């Protein structure tokens, strides 16, 4: 008689991966419908359905899915946002990142739908989707990143920079590839008299100017538009901060890092916060998976751990200090170099 195989396997992890796409769709649908806007306090599914004009029973099932995904809590038939959903997914909140997640998803969708062909045939531009060379896309992305920066990243940058022994003597800083500029604004605001420059694409610095006005920093902040790989980034800085931007020059890191070195005053400090791929480029998980779609179409911008620090030393920085820190999204590598 044929016997069953002796196995000791659990398939729960495989099922978790399989339903991961459903969790993603629940999150994005909740953002699209504005569900989280109505769950700051306990609400029944009928109340939510009435507020949204949606099907009552399917609204209940949808809310149960959000609860199973730990985006809302359900207690005695009433639903309410979890703390992270309340902080991040309610429109109008200064830390609302729903728009950023929606845009990220739109960037990935066409590639993911074409995944089998890309694996078989190799990189080629998707037939539809977002043009990442489009100025409109860059502006949208910069605007959506603003709430992410002020949801913890900017505060973390201030903590890092303010602990530098040179911080009290700083007079001028550059936020290189600063996007909406909230990090540069926060660092300058934490100093009694330092001034700052936000450098990014010309269309993107227009976004940064709006936040400079919002935070009433016009007398201490200015913007500079250009491409740091070929344009001047200014000079006589005491501090240059670059977060998640050197990826665009990963195949010739020495050139921009040397430009950064030259732009610093003697004794100046360069701080880089960037992805640092480890475990044969399979970790950190969130970074590898969130950038996989662009890598599959030939735009692999991931940087291996230690590469930026090595470039710092090659171009002349006298010392570097490196460590991995937790950020709101994922672990990232912090490299600090001194001229």
**pLDDT, tens digit, 9 for 90 and up, residues 17-56:** 889 899 999 999 999 999 999 999 999 999 999 999 999 9
Report the pLDDT value the prediction gives residue 128, as an integer from 0 to 100.
43
CA distance 10 to 245: 41
> Do 221 and 198 form a contact (C-beta atoms < 8 A)?
yes
For the record, the structure tokens of 322 come out as: 């490196």
CATH 3.40.50.150, the chain: domain bounds: 150-285+298-338
Residues paired with 198 in a beta bridge: 175, 223
Q: What percent of the chain has pLDDT over 90?
A: 78
- Dump pLDDT digits (tens) for 81-90: 999 999 999 9
Distance (Å, whole) CA 108 – CA 28? 13
Is pLDDT above 60 for 100? yes
- pLDDT category at 2 given cuts 50, 70, 90 is confident
> In whole numbers, what is the pLDDT of the chain averaged over residues?
93
Contact between residue 274 and residue 329 where contact means Cβ atoms under 8 Å apart: no
How does residue 97 score in pLDDT terms, banded at 50, 70 and 90?
A: very high
Q: How far is CA 7 from the centre of its chain?
A: 42
Of residues 191, 152, 151, 153, the one with CA closest to residue 173: 191
Distance of alpha carbon 98 from alpha carbon 104, whole angstroms: 10
pLDDT at residue 112 greater than cutoff 90: no
pLDDT of residue 1: 82
Q: What is the mean pLDDT of the segment spanning 288-316?
A: 93
Q: Map tokens 């309340």 to a residue.
A: 86
pLDDT band at 130 (very low <50, low <70, confident <90, very high): very low
In percent, the amount of the chain with pLDDT more than 70 equals 97
Residues forming CATH 1.10.10.10 domain(s) in the chain: 12-91
The per-residue pLDDT for 339 is 98
Q: What is the pLDDT of residues 217-234, one digit of tens each?
A: 999 999 999 999 999 999
CA dihedral of 173, 178, 181, 185, whole degrees rounded to 10: -20
Phi, psi of 81 (to 5 degrees): -60, 145
- Residue 256 in tokens: 């921009």
Q: Are 182 and 150 in contact (CB under 8 A)?
A: yes
CA atoms within 13 A on the CB side of 306: 3
Q: How confident is the model at residue 127 (pLDDT cuts 50, 70, 90)?
A: very low
> DSSP assignment, residue 53?
T
Predicted confidence (pLDDT) at residue 126 exceeds the cutoff of 70: no
Residue with tokens 């990232």: 332
pLDDT band at residue 140 under the 50/70/90 scheme: confident
Per CATH, the number for 150-285+298-338 is 3.40.50.150
Fold adopted by 12-91: Arc Repressor Mutant, subunit A (1.10.10)
């Amino acid at each position: 008689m044929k016997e069953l195989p002796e196995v000791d396997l659990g398939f729960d992890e495989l099922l978790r991966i399989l339903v991961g796409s459903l969790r993603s769709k629940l999150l994005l649908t909740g953002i699209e419908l504005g569900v989280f806007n109505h769950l700051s306090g306990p609400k029944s599914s009928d109340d939510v359905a009435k507020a949204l004009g949606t099907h009552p029973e399917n609204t209940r099932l949808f809310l149960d899915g959000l609860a199973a995904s730990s985006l809302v809590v359900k207690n005695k038939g009433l639903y309410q946002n979890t703390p992270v959903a309340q902080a991040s997914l309610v429109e109008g909140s200064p830390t609302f990142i729903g728009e950023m997640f929606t845009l990220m998803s739109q960037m990935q969708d066409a590639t993911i739908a074409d995944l089998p062909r890309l694996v078989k045939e190799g990189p080629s531009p998707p037939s539809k989707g977002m043009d990442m060379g489009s100025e409109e896309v860059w502006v949208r992305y910069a605007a959506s990143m603003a709430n992410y920066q002020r949801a913890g990243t900017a505060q973390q940058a201030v903590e890092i920079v303010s602990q530098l022994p040179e911080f009290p003597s700083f007079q001028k800083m550059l936020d290189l590839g600063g996007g909406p500029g909230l990090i540069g604004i926060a660092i300058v605001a934490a100093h009694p008299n330092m001034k700052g420059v936000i450098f990014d694409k010309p269309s993107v610095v227009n976004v940064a100017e709006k936040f400079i006005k919002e935070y009433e920093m016009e007398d201490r902040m200015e913007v500079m538009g250009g491409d740091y790989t070929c344009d001047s980034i200014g000079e006589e800085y005491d501090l240059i901060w670059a977060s998640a931007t050197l990826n665009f020059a990963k195949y010739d890191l020495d050139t921009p890092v040397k430009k950064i070195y030259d732009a610093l005053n003697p004794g100046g400090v360069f701080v880089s916060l960037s992805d640092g791929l480890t475990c044969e480029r399979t970790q950190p998980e969130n970074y590898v998976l969130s950038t996989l779609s662009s890598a599959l179409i030939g735009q692999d911008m991931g940087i291996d751990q230690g590469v930026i620090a090595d470039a710092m030393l090659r171009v002349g920085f006298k010392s570097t200090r490196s460590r991995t820190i937790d950020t709101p999204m994922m672990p990232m590598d912090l490299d600090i170099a001194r001229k």
